[in-house]
Amino acid sequence: MAVKEIKVKSNIPIYSIGVSWILYSLVFKMYRIIDFIIAACISAVVYMALYFIIPDKNIEITEPDFVKSGDKTADEIVERGNIMLGELLEIKGSIDNVILKNNIDELHKTGSLIYGYVSKNPSSAPSIKKFNDYYFPETVKILKAYDEIDDFAGKNANETKTKIEKSIQSMINAFNKQLDNLLYDKTFDVRTDIKVLETLLAEEGLSGKED
């Protein structure tokens, strides 16, 4: 996982322009072009001063680091998945609901495992095609919608947010199921190997079990 740090400028300097204009209009006469120029100069000075005084806010974004496999299809899928995983983290960073943040973390963790596995096992890429083309983008789309309406408190906004919060568990299940399906071939091979090994050991009398 790569941790990316983004610097975000404060919006206070922008609002200070408005505040400067309000104060100017309250205190001074304002009807000539010169009055507007003075107000603009004062607000520009205030903006610049606050722009440099107020420190940038640092936001950390962790992005999964996948190595290219050389398989074009697999690399394309992993690259797209990587972008969507990044989007999940951005959404997580900007919403306020703690439970939903934890659930997004879980989605991100499972998603990272899926794409990490595909990057190491490119032959498994076709089995996550539907997940990559539909389920994951839809999940991101729904969570983006949540992010957009997060600040609103109307009836529709609240109902929609509640629905999304409830449906997130289904998304987590789907992600886990996808990971499980992805690992099926691998686990099947391992189980078969274990069974063969146990059979051979038993035939040679090395299993430690007595007949």
Chain positions contacting another protein, by CB under 8 A: 6, 8-9, 11, 14-15, 17-19, 21-22, 24-26, 28-33, 35-36, 39, 43, 59, 90, 94, 144, 147-148, 150
- CA-to-CA distance for 205 and 18, rounded, in angstroms? 87
What is the closest distance, in whole angstroms, from the C-beta atom of residue 81 to another protein in the complex? 18
- CA-to-CA distance for 7 and 151, rounded, in angstroms? 22
What is the closest distance, in whole angstroms, from the C-beta atom of residue 102 to another protein in the complex? 19
| 33 vs 99, beta carbon nearer another protein | 33
- CA-to-CA distance for 102 and 70, rounded, in angstroms? 34
Nearest to 89 by CA among 177, 1, 178: 1
| 3 vs 8, beta carbon nearer another protein | 8
Partners of 91 in the beta sheet? none
For residue 50, report the phi and psi dihedrals to the nearest 5 degrees. -70, -35
In the numeric block, which tokens belong to residue 158? 């609240």
What is the closest distance, in whole angstroms, from the C-beta atom of residue 144 to another protein in the complex? 7
| 24 vs 131, beta carbon nearer another protein | 24
What is the closest distance, in whole angstroms, from the C-beta atom of residue 32 to another protein in the complex? 7
Three-class SS state of 145: helix
- CA-to-CA distance for 117 and 76, rounded, in angstroms? 14
What is the closest distance, in whole angstroms, from the C-beta atom of residue 30 to another protein in the complex? 3
| 150 vs 165, beta carbon nearer another protein | 150
| 59 vs 179, beta carbon nearer another protein | 59
Could you tell me how many residues make up the chain?
211
